[in-house]
A = this chain, B = another copy of it.
Amino acid sequence: MPAYEPPVSEVLSVLREVLVPEAEGLDLPTLEAVLAEGGRFATRVLAPLNASGDAEGCRLEQGAVRTPAGFPEAYRQFVAAGWPALSQPERWGGQAMPRLAQLALDEMIAATNFSFGLFPGLTRGAAEAIARHAAPELQERYLPQLVSGAWAGAMALTEAQAGTDLGLLATRAEPRRDGSLSVTGSKIFITAGDHDLAENIVHLVLARLPDAPPGVRGISLVLVPKFLPDDQGRPGRRNAMAAGALERKMGIHASPTCVMHYDGAEGWLVGAPHRGLAAMFTMMNAERLFVGIQGLGIAEAAGQAAADYARTRLQGRPPGVAAGPPQPILAHPDVRRMLLTIRGFTTAGRALALWLAMQLDRAEEDAEAEGMVALLTPVVKAAFTDWGFEAAVLGQQVLGGHGYVRENGLEQMVRDARIAQLYEGTNGVQAMDLVTRKLAAEGGALPHRFFALVRAALQAAPEPALTEALNRLEAATRHLQRKGAEPAEPGAAAAEYLRLFALVSLGWMWLRLRAAAGPSGLPHHRRWRQAADFFFARLLPQSAGLAAAIAAGPATLMVPAEDVF
């Protein structure tokens, strides 16, 4: 496996030169130092455990989950270095760094050890839900431990019969006399539901109270710890919950995906009764951005590994050269096409994600920023994970047959990247969220506010290919916002519309990157310019086919009878 180079200088260049107005007031020198340290942690501690973790996997022994060799020690170092607390509030022991620092760290972790990143990622999600919705005494008891990483978190949503359709879930939560709840039921697909990294694991479980109305309006959120804290707040009595099985999966083998059984487990309500989904969804934007970043991290890692291979693998000769010794395959146009397709996502995708992370930091006091977060989050989650997977597949293709062999690492990236398109709401669910809720938000004005940003950038730096794609996106948006459309219209357009939206969003960032570079001869400016030219000439024209598919409407999807499929 070639060495991974953390993209720290790229992050800083984007903040210093491209996202200039948005990044005003950020302490960039501190950020740079922190990310450099994070990059060292990722490459020195996490990367060496990636292939071995995949090969060994997790196992369930006498009811307890064991992670692969080296993972407990790596997590101990991760906690000792303070990484779990990076972007958490100071009140609970956090370092209150901006979310973009978290994002850049998460990218490097996903690039070097995708599975490892899920443990702190879920812990952060649980902490955020508790910080926003739990009673003060629960916050005092749990947040310092979760923020430090001494305790870990898990989210228990899915049941066998209730995946995307959470209204079907059946786990029960019965009140006890002391005000706590007794939780009974079985959950599946619980990432990090049990493991040996932390001394306690705090589950947030979706369950129904006895008087719950049916459907999604009758779901409550319940905090259920693996060990009940004693009077000193230390892990005490074992709760009535256990991992019943581990899924055997395509990838992320070092991340245990548990079947969890709760058998009258003791828990406490978080947020209002029957309002559990709303409580869960307030942290969903951050979680979905996190998953999108996993796609970005894998794409960057795959691109670097494939480019390294292409620079050193000698096969054939450049176009127009008939004889002579073999040359690096980077000379071949099709190899360049594959590598630039990856780059066409990563550099602008990172800039877009940094921009979105800044919006997320502002969202609580700034409704405009909040709207942008709501709009772009499904786009980033779905498109970044699709492109992340596609980048891993392209990177693997650059290696030819060598990409199919385990020891070269690319095939693990493909297997690991695949999950990000499926969990945290499948990418189809993201697309539906975009074309229904998000297009209707602010009376339909929300997407047009975003398009105005792209238009403004185009006025400052014209690019006909982007103007054309934006025109297509705006037309598709108006089409989907029309009243009286068929009920199947949004769903029929959803996947292609999200991809079109994502392409325009990337184009917006490539425009800003190229404009910031200007005619400068600095290497990173030249790189931005050359990659942007490729994006506009070769990738953005996909918008034509997407627009045509959207315009075709739902008929050819909805007319076919069941036996056509």
Binding site for B on A (CB under 8 A): 158, 161-165, 168, 189, 247-251, 303, 307, 310-311, 314-316, 318-321, 326, 330, 332-340, 343, 389, 393, 396-397, 400-407, 411, 414-415, 418-419, 421-423, 426-428, 431-432, 486-488, 490-492, 494-495, 523, 526-527, 530-531, 533-534, 537-539, 541-545, 548-549, 552, 554-565
Known: A164-B315, A415-B415, A545-B542. A561 touches B333 (CB 8 A): no
The CA of A564 and the CA of B524, in the complex, are separated in Å by: 8
Please give, as numbers and ranges, the residues of chain B lying within 8 Å of A534 by CB-CB distance: 556-557, 560
Are A495 and B557 within 8 A (Cβ)?
no
Q: With A164-B316, A247-B405, A560-B531 given, is the CB distance from A310 to B523 under 8 Å? A: no
A248 and B488 in contact, given A545-B541, A545-B542 (Cβ under 8 angstroms): no
Please indicate which of the listed interface residues A250, A330, A397, A544 has the most CB atoms of chain B within 10 Å of its own CB: A250
Which residues of chain B are near A556, meaning CB under 8 Å? 340, 530, 533-534, 537-538
Q: List the B side residues contacting A545 at CB < 8 Å.
A: 541-545
Q: Give CA–CA (A463, B333) in the complex, Å.
A: 34
Q: A530 to chain B: which residues have CB within 8 Å?
A: 556, 559-561, 564
Please, how many angstroms separate the alpha-carbon atoms of A161 and B400 in the complex?
13
Contacts of A250 on B, CB cut-off 8 Å? 404-406, 411, 414-415
- Name 13 interchain pairs, CB-CB below 8 A, sorted by A: A158-B401, A164-B316, A165-B315, A168-B315, A168-B326, A251-B404, A319-B488, A389-B393, A401-B423, A523-B563, A531-B560, A541-B549, A544-B545
Given contacts A163-B315, A163-B400, A318-B488, 13 further A-B contacts (CB under 8 A): A161-B314, A164-B400, A318-B487, A319-B491, A333-B491, A337-B557, A343-B565, A400-B426, A404-B418, A527-B563, A533-B556, A534-B557, A537-B556
Which are the 6 A-B pairs with shortest beta-carbon distances?
Answer: A320-B487, A333-B491, A541-B548, A544-B544, A250-B411, A319-B487
Q: Counting chain B CB atoms within 10 Å of each CB, which of A249, A533, A537, A557 scores highest? A: A557
- Contacts A163-B315, A538-B552, A549-B537 given: A418-B414 contact, CB under 8 Å? yes
A527 CB contact (under 8 Å) in B339, B492, B539, B564: B564
Closest to A553 in B: B537
Contact B407 A422 (CB under 8 A): no
Q: A158-B401, A556-B538 are in contact. Are A311 and B419 (CB under 8 A)?
A: no
Residue in B320, B338, B407, B494 whose beta carbon sits within 8 Å of that of A333 in the complex? B494
Contact of A407 among B248, B490, B495, B565 (CB under 8 A): B248
Q: Which residues of B contact A318 (CB under 8 A)?
A: 487-488
Question: Residues of B contacting A531 with CB < 8 Å?
Answer: 560, 564
Contact of A337 among B320, B400, B404, B492 (CB under 8 A): B492
Shortest CB distance A319–B (Å) = 4
Contact of A422 among B389, B400, B558 (CB under 8 A): B400
Q: Which residues of B contact A189 (CB under 8 A)?
A: 401
Residues in B with CB closer than 8 Å to A330 are 562, 565
Q: Which residues of B contact A563 (CB under 8 A)?
A: 523, 527
The answer to whether B405 touches A422, judged by C-beta atoms less than 8 angstroms apart, is no
Give the chain B neighbours of A163 by CB distance below 8 A.
315, 400-402
A527 to B189, CA, bound (A): 36
Docked complex Cα distance between A163 and B309 (Å)? 14
The answer to whether A552 and B564 touch across the interface, beta carbons within 8 angstroms, is no
Cβ of B492 and Cβ of A565 under 8 Å apart?
A: no
CA distance A305 to B505 in the complex (A): 35
Chain B residues with CB below 8 A from A315, complex form: 162-165, 168
Complex interface: chain B residues within 8 A of A404 (CB) = 247, 249-251, 418-419, 422
Closest to A548 in B: B541
Q: A397 near B421 (CB under 8 angstroms)?
A: yes
Q: Which residues does chain B contribute within 8 Å of A418, judged by CB atoms? A: 393, 396, 404, 411, 414
- Partner of A397 from the list B311, B402, B427 (CB cut-off 8 Å) is B427
Nearest Cβ on chain B to A372's Cβ, whole angstroms:
25
Nearest Cβ distance between residue A330 and chain B, in whole angstroms?
A: 7
Residue of B nearest to A538 (CB): B549
The answer to whether A406 touches B523 (Cβ under 8 A) is: no
Residue of B nearest to A533 (CB): B556
Q: Which residues of B contact A337 (CB under 8 A)?
A: 492, 495, 557
A501 to chain B, nearest CB (A): 15
Smallest CB separation, A243 vs chain B (Å): 16
In the bound complex, CA of A411 to CA of B249 (Å): 8
Judging by beta carbons under 8 Å apart, are B411 and A492 in contact? no
Give the distance to chain B from A402, nearest Cβ to Cβ, in Å: 8
User: Could you say which residues of chain B place their CB within 8 Å of the CB of A544?
Assistant: 541, 544-545, 548
Partner of A552, one of B339, B403, B490, B537: B537
Scoring A326, A428, A533, A562 by chain B CB atoms within 10 A of each residue's CB, the highest score goes to A428
User: CA–CA, A432 to B333, complex, Å?
Assistant: 10
Q: Would you call A340 and B411 a contact (CB within 8 A)?
A: no
